[in-house]
Chain A
Amino acid sequence: DIVMTQSPDSLAVSLGERATINCKSSQSVLHSSNNNNYFAWYQQKPGQSPKLLINWASTRESGVPDRFSGSGSGTDFTLTISSLQAEDVAVYYCQQYYSTPRTFGQGTKVEI
């Protein structure tokens, strides 16, 4: 199974400041046949179900603000919130969909 490890477990960021979350996979999720990273970021706000923010490591879903960006390839990935807003308070999860079982990171709690 591919193990996903996020860091940090939690972080507090001032409004308008940058938040950076890292995720490392135990093996590469880059598919050599198409050069795609089978990697996603989800946001789960308090009391809500998860929401897909970014897939293919760097492609924002429709409607996701452009202050959210994803980067990385292979085994190391980053989610950046360029200017934190109050509505961004949430737990963020990374996930690989390269293989079954699909696996998630343990989550990173972002607070103001």
Chain B
Amino acid sequence: EVQLLESGGGLVQPGGSLRLSCAASGFTFISNAMSWVRQAPGRGLEWVSGISGSGDSTYYADSVKGRFTISRDNSKNTLYLQMNSLRAEDAAVYYCAKVPSEAWNDAPRAFDSWGQGTLVTVSS
């Protein structure tokens, strides 16, 4: 059974940093691209970032480009999101999601499994 378990959320001041983690199990992690999707309170889904299975290719929404960094450690089956220069508008539940293909652009797929999410609050 696929399991995705996010952690690392919490309260951070504007301008601060946070690193989210997503521990994956139940599938061959390196064979799957991964993604982060966020949802502000009471709002819809917003794609944040994606990464290929190897980690060689990364992709970002314009709203986070230059501030967020996605990475993965395939030896630990873990996905990360390093978030710097956080703003009030970054406050959201952050979900990690699995893509059922290794590549991101060569073989695009929908997100077939999601974690339970981790809440990020940005406030002074």
Contact = CB atoms under 8 A, between A and B. Distances in A.
Interface of A: 38, 40, 42, 44, 49-52, 55, 61, 91, 93, 95, 97-107
Contacts of B50: 100, 102
Contact of A40 (B37, B110, B115): B110
B89 interface: no
B110 A104 contact: no
Contact of B45 (A50, A52, A97): A50
Nearest to A91: B44
Most chain-B Cβ atoms within 10 A of its Cβ — which of A50, A55, A61? A50
B10 interface: no
Given A38-B108, A49-B115, A105 B61 contact: no
A93 B110 CA distance: 12
Contacts of B108: 38, 97-99
Contacts, number: 56
Interface of B: 35, 37, 44-47, 50, 59, 61-62, 95, 104-105, 108-117
B45 A55 contact: no
12 contacts: A38-B108, A49-B95, A50-B114, A52-B112, A93-B45, A97-B110, A98-B108, A99-B108, A100-B50, A100-B104, A104-B45, A107-B45
Which 10 pairs show the lowest CB-CB distances between chains A and B? A40-B110, A55-B110, A102-B47, A49-B114, A104-B45, A97-B108, A107-B44, A100-B59, A106-B44, A52-B112
A54 to B, nearest CB: 9
A14 B61 CA distance: 39
